[in-house]
Structure 1
Amino acid sequence: MRQLKSAVLAAALLGSCLQSHAAATSSAALGPLTFTLFDLNPLDDIGPSVTFTNLVDVEFGSAVFANVFQSDPNASDSQFAGGVTDFDPVGIYVNTGLAWSMAAVGGSGEASGATLHVSGHAAGTTSTVPFSFHSSNYSASVYAPYFFNAVGFTVSANTLLVITAESTVSAGVSSAFDPSSSYQIELADAETMLYVIGPSASGNSGAPQTSSDAHSLDIGNVIVYGDGCTSSYCYGPNAASETRTLSVSFLNATGGNLAGTLQASATVNGTSFMQAVPEPETYAMMLGGLVVVAQLARRRSAC
C-alpha cells in the first residue's frame, strides 16, 4: 500500500511540473466493483450467493504495467508489478521527465469494492527543429486478475449475478500548430472493460454465455480554420471526459451451482510530438519532484 500511495503522490508532483507546456494526457478509472444477486426461485429455499476461488496456481494475481519513452533527450522506463491475490492492491509509477504513467489496483483485496486506475502524460520533446519528429509517449494498464482463467466465481442455483462498476475515461491534447511549419500532433486514449464467461445458463453443453461491457475514448488534435494558417487550416487542442456504469451478468438457471470467470481491466496510451521547452523554473520544479520520489524510494527500502 505504501508503494501505491507513493506512485499517486509522485504522479501528482511531476504532473504539475509538466503541465506548464502542451501535453497529451489520459486517465481511466473503474470501480468499485459491485456484485448484486437476484433469486430467481425464492421457493427452493436456497439463498443466492457467489464465492470466488483460484482455479489455476499462477505466480501473481492482479497486475499493473507502466511504460514511458521520449526520443529527445532519449530516455525510457518500463515497470511491472503483480499482486499476490487476484484483486490485491498494487501500484507503480514511471517517469522520464517529459512523460510519466501510473497504474494501480485499490481496495481491500477482495473482488467486491476493488478499483482500477491508470493515467499518463506525454509532453513532447525539447527539440526546436521543425519536422524533427521527436516525441514522447506513455502507456499503462491494469488487470484484475491478469490471467483471465485464474479466478472463478461460483453462483448458487437459480440465481442471476449482475456485476457493475462506475467507469470514467478522460483524454486531452493541448498542442496548437500550423502543419505547414511543424509537425506537433498529439494523441491520447483511455479504456475500461468488464468481461465474464462461463457455461450455458442451463448447464448443458450448449454455447457458453459471455457478457462484456467496455468504455473507451480516443482524442486527437482538431482541425481549426483561420486566416492565420498557411494551408487555410491549423490543428488545435481537444479534450473530453465521460462517466457511465459498466454492467455484465451471469445466469445460473440450474438447480445446482454454476461457475464462471471474470476480468476487469483499464488501459491508457498517449503520444506527443509537441516541441516543448520548459522554462528554467519548470526544470526546478521537476527536479524537486524527482528528489521527493528518490526520498520515497529510500523510505520504502528502509521499511
Structure 2
Amino acid sequence: MKRLILASSLLLAATGALAAASSTVHINGVTITLTDLDLNDGIAASATMMHGSQPYLNIGSASFDPAYSNDAQAGIGTHGASQLHADVGTTFSHSSATIAGQPSIVGYSSIALEGAALSSAVGYGEYGATAAPYTAMNVQVAANTRVTVTFDASIDVATTVGLDAAGNAERAMGRILMAFDGLDADGAWVIDEQFQELVAGYRVDNAGNVLGDTLHWDGQLSVSFANWTGSDTVATLYSEGVIGGSSVVSAVPEPATYGMLLGGLALLGVAARRKKAAC
C-alpha cells in the first residue's frame, strides 16, 4: 500500500491531476411478479425454470505505458447458485465484477461492476467487464399467466478531461439489458426489451472550455411476457450488465518531470506484480 501511495504521488507531482474515466453498474434487487390473467380457469399462475444457467463474468484491463500490458479473467459458476468475483488490474486501469447466482428464472440476485482508467503523458488505460447468466433462461409459463421481472439498478459514468488538445477522447460506458421473448396467442414472436445505457465523453461549457462529464441514473427496469393461451408455453429471458471505457493521453510534460513520471510508473509496476504474485 505504501508503494502505491508513493507511486501515485510521484505521478501526480509529475503530471498534475491525472485524466480518468470510470464506470459502475449495480443491479441490487430482482423481483419476479406473477399475474393470473384468468381467475376462472382453475390454473394457478406460475413460471418455472426449465433450463437454468450458471452465472458468468468476463473482465479485462489494459495499459499502454508505452509497452502494452493486460490482465483478464473469465469465469463460469459450477451451479446456478455460484457466487463469482474477480479483480484485474494494470498500471493505468482496473476492473472488478461480482455476480450472485440464484436458481430462479433470472439466474442471479445481484450484479456489481466497477472499472476505471487513468492516463498521463507516458501512458493510458482501458477497462471492460460483463456479468450475466452464461446462457439465456428458458421459462415455462403457465396458461393465462403474465410474468414480470423488475430490476432495481443504478449506473454511474464519469470522465475528468474528456478531450485533449490532440483530439484524444475519454469514454466511460455503463449498460443494463433485459429481454423477455416468446410466442403470443397467435403464434407470432414477441419481445419485451429494456435497455439503459449511459456514456460519458466530454462537454463544452458556455465559455468554450472542454470538460469531462458525469452522468448518473438509478431506478427500475422491467420486462414481461404474457401467455394468453389455455396451455403452457415456453419463453426466454436474458439480462446482462456491461461496463467499458478508456482514458485520454495527456499533454507531454516538461523534461524535468520525466524522472518523477518514470519513478512512479516503476513503483506501480512493482506493486502490480507483487499483487498478482500474492493471488
Normalising by the smaller structure, the TM-score range is 0.7 to 0.9
Q: Which moved more, 1:18-27 or 1:284-293?
A: 284-293
Question: What TM-score, normalized by structure 1, do the two folds share?
Answer: 0.74
Q: Which moved more, 1:17-26 or 1:156-165?
A: 17-26
CA distance change for structure 1 residues 112 and 272 in 2, over 3 Å: closer, same or farther? closer
Matched, 1:63 2:56: yes
What is the aligned partner in structure 1 of residue 256 from structure 2?
Answer: none
What is the aligned partner in structure 1 of residue 171 from structure 2?
Answer: 187
Residue 187 of structure 1, CA deviation: 1.0
What is the aligned partner in structure 2 of residue 136 from structure 1?
Answer: 125
CA distance change for structure 1 residues 92 and 23 in 2, over 3 Å: closer, same or farther? same
More strand by share: 2
Matched, 1:22 2:39: no
What is the aligned partner in structure 2 of residue 209 from structure 1?
Answer: 190
What is the aligned partner in structure 1 of residue 99 from structure 2?
Answer: 105
- CA distance, structure 1, for counterparts of residue 58 and residue 49 of structure 2: 25
State whether residues 164 and 249 of structure 2, in contact with CA within 8 Å, keep that contact through their aligned partners in structure 1.
no
Residue 280 of structure 1, CA deviation: 7.1
Deviations 1:210-245 (CA, angstroms, capped at 9, x unpaired)? 11101110111212454xxxxxx4421210110121
**Aligned partner of 1:122 among 114, 117, 125:** 117
**Aligned partner of 1:42 among 28, 39, 47:** 39
What is the aligned partner in structure 1 of residue 30 from structure 2?
Answer: 33
Matched, 1:247 2:226: no
State whether residues 162 and 203 of structure 2, in contact with CA within 8 Å, keep that contact through their aligned partners in structure 1.
no
- CA distance, structure 1, for counterparts of residue 268 and residue 65 of structure 2: 20
Unaligned runs of 5+ residues in structure 1 are 1-9, 128-133, 227-232, 298-303
CA distance change for structure 1 residues 66 and 278 in 2, over 3 Å: closer, same or farther? farther
Alignment partner of 2:44: what SS?
coil
Deviations 1:28-80 (CA, angstroms, capped at 9, x unpaired)? 1224221100111122222211110227xxxx732211112111143112221
- CA distance, structure 2, for counterparts of residue 113 and residue 79 of structure 1: 20
What is the aligned partner in structure 1 of residue 88 from structure 2?
Answer: 94
Please tell me the residue identity of whatever aligns with 1:262.
L
Question: What TM-score, normalized by structure 2, do the two folds share?
Answer: 0.80
Please tell me the residue identity of whatever aligns with 1:159.
T
State whether residues 150 and 220 of structure 2, in contact with CA within 8 Å, keep that contact through their aligned partners in structure 1.
yes
Please tell me the residue identity of whatever aligns with 1:191.
R
State whether residues 172 and 239 of structure 1, in contact with CA within 8 Å, keep that contact through their aligned partners in structure 2.
yes
- CA distance, structure 1, for counterparts of residue 32 and residue 61 of structure 2: 35
State whether residues 89 and 272 of structure 2, in contact with CA within 8 Å, keep that contact through their aligned partners in structure 1.
no
- CA distance, structure 1, for counterparts of residue 78 and residue 160 of structure 2: 39
- CA distance, structure 2, for counterparts of residue 65 and residue 105 of structure 1: 11
Deviations 1:122-181 (CA, angstroms, capped at 9, x unpaired)? 001451xxxxxx53211111122x223xx31111121111111012111000127762xx
What is the aligned partner in structure 2 of residue 155 from structure 1?
Answer: 141
What is the aligned partner in structure 2 of residue 259 from structure 1?
Answer: 234
Residue 107 of structure 1, CA deviation: 4.8
CA distance change for structure 1 residues 254 and 107 in 2, over 3 Å: closer, same or farther? same
Please tell me the residue identity of whatever aligns with 1:167.
A
Alignment partner of 2:223: what SS?
strand
CA distance change for structure 1 residues 41 and 109 in 2, over 3 Å: closer, same or farther? closer
State whether residues 55 and 107 of structure 2, in contact with CA within 8 Å, keep that contact through their aligned partners in structure 1.
no
CA distance change for structure 1 residues 198 and 27 in 2, over 3 Å: closer, same or farther? same
Unaligned runs of 5+ residues in structure 2 are 252-259
State whether residues 100 and 121 of structure 1, in contact with CA within 8 Å, keep that contact through their aligned partners in structure 2.
yes
What is the aligned partner in structure 2 of residue 221 from structure 1?
Answer: 202
- Percent of aligned pairs with the same residue? 22
